Structure 1
Amino acid sequence: MMRGLIIITTLIALAACGNQAAGPLGDERQGLPAPSGTPVLRNAVDGLIVGHRLMDAGEYELALRAYTRSAASDGTTPAHLSAMGSANLQLGRLGQAETLLRAAIEEDPDFPPAWNNLGVVLMEQGEYGEARQVFQHAFALDSGQTDSIRENLRLAIARMENTGYIPEDNENRYDLERRGGGLYVLYETP
């Protein structure tokens, strides 16, 4: 009999707890609802634009990350490959830059910015003859409309013609300057 009384008391207690399960609004939830998760961004800025802005700010590693994220979400395009190559060039990773830029050209052989940026890499490596051919191709694809490509071609021709002795301690270096549309112009810094 005692056992039956314990079972009945337990059932009454459980029934009473079941009535208190309703929250303050009378629904079945207790407390605040769980967060819905990460919101979906619908008006995010294009990753290429973010990368270009970071390149302008001199944040080349962050720009490379932005370009990589953009390529992962949008798919790898010649514009992404060219931008990642340019960021690698600024970071001094000439081999990686050349590989990415050649891949961009392979995907779209009519993309002048990739040809131009490959020419910049070749100039950095001292390959003036090939750089001149690459700049000439970029210039032809662009129909001579972009001043930066024309200037890069002029520098490559000047370097080929200048076969004079350059001292070892000469600190000449080429720098990229981004122009609209992902084009970079090569300037020699003193």
Structure 2
Amino acid sequence: MEKKSTNRLHNITLFTLFVSSYLPLFVLIAIKQISDNSNFISWGGVSLEAFKIFFLKFGLSTLLIVVSIIGFLGFKLTFRNIDETAENGIPVVINKVRNKSGEAIGYIATYIIPFLFNEYTGWYECFSVLFLLTIIYPIYINSSLLLINPLLSFWFSVYELEYIENGKSRDGFVVSKNKSLYDDSEIKIYEIGYKLFFAKNIN
């Protein structure tokens, strides 16, 4: 039987998943930059100099706030649509399951906390953040990190599975609303990327 092509996530969806994974960091950086530069919060009129000061002192926080709103709304819409579409998923039997939701803690410690000790009062610090995020983005969207997302952990659990499909043993990562999947359970899986799935219980 010919295997169906992967239901690849759209680029905008990958972007919103990336943004949502860093949303706590973006919010904290925005708060820190605004707090550190609070003495510049005053009406300076409309001029090139005022624009330069705003761009330097609050440009990063403004960008991150806008991107965070887009990312959060995109995240909610993406998983609402996937949840509905996953009803057409493939029924499989779980052979072995490992909960990977705890890896979000390591993700926070490795990728988020180090940024919080920077000062965001000059152009170099702001550019460094954007530059590093640009480097991390292609790595993130092409790896299983796509599902290691602190925001995702509020509503879903992430598992690494070995499962039986049409008598063959396969493996992959799944996102599920079910907080406790067990060996020998029957679920439906809907492919959203290479060895990445959304899982639903079979009623």
Q: Give the alignment's TM-score, normalised by structure 1.
A: 0.27
Structure (1 or 2) with the greater helix fraction? 1
> Which structure ranks higher in relative contact order (CA pairs < 8 Å, sequence separation ≥ 6)?
2
Q: Which has the larger radius of gyration?
A: 1
Structure (1 or 2) with the greater strand fraction? 2
